[in-house]
Amino acid sequence: KDSLGTATFEEVSANPDWFVPNNTKGDYMNHNYGYNLDAVYWAKINLRGHPEKTESFLLIIAELAIGHTRSWNYVDVWLERTNGQIEYEKTGYSIPKENKVIPSSHNTVRFELNQGEEVIFYTRLEEVTEHNPNYIQFGLIKESFWINQTYDSWLNGLYLGAIGIQFFYFLILFLIEKESIHAYFSLILLSFLVISSMFLGDSGLQEIFYPWTNQNNMLELSLIFNCLLLYGFIKYTISYFNYSKSFIIKKILPFYFGLLLLQIIFFLLYMFGAISKIPQPIRLSFIISILIGIPLCFIIALTSGKENRIQRRNFILSIFPPFLLIFLLIVDLFFGLPIEDFADTHFSSFFGISLMLSLVLLAVSTGHRTNLLKAEKEKALQKNLSDQKQINLAISRFVPNEFLLALGKSNIKEVKLGDSIAKEVTVFFSDIRDYTSLSEQMTPEENFQFVNAYNVQMGPIIQQDKGFVNQYLGDGIMAIFPESPTDALRAAIKMQQVLQSYNQQRVQEGRKAIRVGMGMHTGSLIMGITGDENRLDAATISDSVNSAARIESLTKHYGVSILLSEASIAKLTNPTEFHFRYLGEVQVKGKKQALKIYECFDGDLPEIVNLKLTTLSLFEEGIQHYFNQSFTQAALAFKSVLKQNPVDSPAKLFLNKAGRLITNGVDDDWTGVEMMADK
């Protein structure tokens, strides 16, 4: 120590009493002489060159009070060679950057040490800039190593930055898409980031993990994240290959993951002081878990099935770089390959690069695998949608969509027992006349084909006119028209017209023409789902249904094709569009109130329609006389109708009824209502 700061190099170098003998042989020199801000310090170092080669070195003078090299404003260095030559260099924090050997390093000088040469360094340290040093450290490193270290620092920063970016990317991706493979890959990246940052001294990230990064428990913290790394990598591999082999999944992995959890618990207990030392079996089990975990990933990859051939190739290529580097180092260790210098100076950087490359390739493979899974899911979804569409289409053939919509349901899955709705609709019934006698002439197969051929032609007409078939009743049809009886009447007329064409075909084939009666009634109706929990059925419950069925049955009695109630007539959008004949009131079975019924003859053969139009006024005159009890005048009117249209069944019916009343007389309570209870 030069308390006055007045000593010169010549005085110091000529007087050996200035220096305390050093017997530390390369260890830290910690001689506490009461450092103070005003003192100037001198140091003397003896060095000998390599016996076989000349090398360039960097001498770094650092104080270790606060861990950096800013403490000296001025550093003077003299190098005394064997031949007496003196080399001088000045550096320090206050010296301009352009005058320093390394601009970013304040207290560093460069020199060359010749082969076998002995040299002496004298250093003068002046003006502490921040704090008193506890002791002074002189670091001697090869210049090539310094360059490599600087290069390695950049690579380490690039490596850690790339891992950090990947971690946040896949973590956010997991939070958005909820894909487990992204969560496991995020865990892998986090584990690598923590482990690497703790052991890369110049990474600048150790403080993040404070207070767990001191020398006492850094190893245990790294072991915890190694366990998490093994867990994440195995789960990632399983997810990557969509692995499902029961023996590994059910027998091996629960035991393996339990072992990892046990290790983590012991490491945490030790870190927080709950136990004084980690049991030897736990340390041994950690080594075993590594020896099991890595091969286990390869086993999962190799046994994942032929369909994963591309994924297996990408997976192996992704983890190849770091494993290749480790393999070369092991080979060098046992066989002495000429990569010793490389391992000494570049191992951490190149291992970081290879690991970063591996993680990038894994990320790309993960993205590729995710895209494949998305494509498979999309394909499966499209297939499910297609299948569901087919199912819905098939179901709609049994339970019409219109029925579901009327209940406020969009599909059959929403339907539940007890769903119902009250609605005013027009109920339509049709029935093939003399079907029993027709069926007796056919085999069961021919019978089925006949009914099916008839329904195939009639069903679409109902749908075209905004109705839906509620039930096929063998030789009959029950349909519902939710909007207007006009739709039902138009459908009935079209069905009769199609039947005429169908009958022409049957007659040409030598078969008998068929007749179909159709009846409709408009009124309130309950549509709903009935049955039990195991068997549901779409049902319609209402007096309107019964009335419509009874009106349809009257078509046979009156010998007409289409009958409708007064309630339907009243709701027609444009009644003048159609042609009707009033047939009076009937008391049908199950009804207390008589119904007024009307014949619509627009669906008859064209020639019949013309005849009924021609005689319409005579027929209406006869009906009026009949219900006024003027039966003689009624009979004359109906006879006139039959004279022009001999096949007019309602005219025949009322003529016969008028004749009986003329002969038998009329009861005092006669109203003209037709009692159909026994029909």
Q: pLDDT tens for residues 304-321?
A: 777 667 777 777 777 776
Residue (of 309, 294, 193) closest to 234 by Cα position: 294
pLDDT at 28 over 60: no
Give the whole-number percent of the chain exceeding pLDDT 70: 74
What pLDDT is recorded for position 439? 79
pLDDT at 206 over 70: no
- 575 vs 383, residue with greater confidence: 575
Mean pLDDT computed over 340-355? 55
- Quickly tell me which residue has 């600048």 as its tokens: 204
Least confident of 10-14, 405-409, 530-534, 639-643: 405-409
Q: Which residues contact 461 (CB under 8 A, 6 or more apart)?
A: 491, 494, 495, 498
Mean pLDDT computed over 134-151? 65
pLDDT at 64 over 50: no
Among 48-52, 357-361, 508-512, 623-627, top mean pLDDT goes to: 623-627
**pLDDT tens for each residue of 280-305:** 888 888 888 888 887 888 888 888 77
Q: Which residues pair with residue 128 across a beta bridge?
A: 72
* CA 443 to each of CA 168, 428, 576, 657: distance values in angstroms, whole numbers, following the listed order: 76, 29, 45, 40
Q: Using 50, 70 and 90 to split pLDDT, how confident is the model at 210?
A: very low
* CA 285 to each of CA 227, 278, 491, 589: distance values in angstroms, whole numbers, following the listed order: 11, 11, 83, 90
What does the radius of gyration of the chain's CA atoms come to, in whole angstroms?
52
Rounded Cα gap, residues 526 and 524, in angstroms: 7
- Quickly tell me which residue has 């190893």 as its tokens: 219
Residue (of 390, 474, 486, 461) closest to 432 by Cα position: 474
User: 591: burial class by Cβ within 10 Å (0-12, 13-18, 19+)?
Assistant: middle
| Tokens linked to 519 | 């009846």
User: 462: burial class by Cβ within 10 Å (0-12, 13-18, 19+)?
Assistant: buried
- 649 vs 24, residue with greater confidence: 649
> Residue 525: how many CB atoms within 10 A of its CB?
24
Rounded Cα gap, residues 45 and 228, in angstroms: 48
What pLDDT is recorded for position 399? 52
* CA 179 to each of CA 297, 314, 519, 619: distance values in angstroms, whole numbers, following the listed order: 20, 19, 61, 80
What pLDDT is recorded for position 511? 82
What pLDDT is recorded for position 562? 96
Buried b (16+ CB within 10 A) or exposed e, 470-504: bebeebbbbbbbbebbbbbbbbbbbbbbbbeebbe
Residue (of 651, 650, 634) closest to 642 by Cα position: 651
**pLDDT tens for each residue of 604-647:** 999 999 999 999 999 999 999 999 999 999 999 999 999 999 99
What does 573-621 look like in DSSP terms, one character per residue?
S-GGGS-EEEEEEEEETT-SS-EEEEEE-TTS-HHHHHHHHHTHHHHHH
The DSSP bridge pattern shows strands 562-565 and 516-532 to be parallel
| Tokens linked to 9 | 């190099």
The 8 Å CB, 24+ separation contacts for 301-307 are 301/237, 301/241, 303/245, 304/241, 304/242, 304/243, 305/241
The DSSP bridge pattern shows strands 55-63 and 476-481 to be unpaired
Torsion 597-600-604-609 (CA) sign: positive
Rounded Cα gap, residues 471 and 478, in angstroms: 5
Residue (of 551, 425, 436) closest to 485 by Cα position: 425
What pLDDT is recorded for position 616? 94
pLDDT at 366 over 60: yes
> Residue 614: how many CB atoms within 10 A of its CB?
13
Beta carbons of 578 and 602 less than 8 angstroms apart: yes
**pLDDT tens for each residue of 555-594:** 999 999 999 999 999 999 999 999 999 999 988 776 778 8
What pLDDT is recorded for position 679? 47
pLDDT at 541 over 70: no
Rounded Cα gap, residues 309 and 23, in angstroms: 65
Buried b (16+ CB within 10 A) or exposed e, 505-518: eeeeeeeeebbbbb
pLDDT at 491 over 90: yes
Mean pLDDT computed over 162-174? 85
Among 152-156, 441-445, 480-484, top mean pLDDT goes to: 480-484
The DSSP bridge pattern shows strands 595-600 and 562-565 to be antiparallel
Q: Which residues contact 489 (CB under 8 A, 6 or more apart)?
A: 520, 562, 564, 568, 572, 578, 600
What value does the mean pLDDT of the chain take? 78
Least confident of 36-45, 88-97, 325-334, 582-591: 325-334
User: 458: burial class by Cβ within 10 Å (0-12, 13-18, 19+)?
Assistant: buried
Q: Which residues contact 128 (CB under 8 A, 6 or more apart)?
A: 35, 37, 63, 71, 72, 73
pLDDT at 422 over 80: no
Which DSSP state fits 106? Answer: T
pLDDT at 360 over 90: no
Mean pLDDT computed over 634-662? 93
* Sequence letter at residue 289: S
Mean pLDDT computed over 355-365? 74
The 8 Å CB, 24+ separation contacts for 287-292 are 288/259, 289/227, 289/230, 289/256, 289/259, 289/260, 289/263, 290/226, 290/230, 292/256
- 349 vs 86, residue with greater confidence: 86
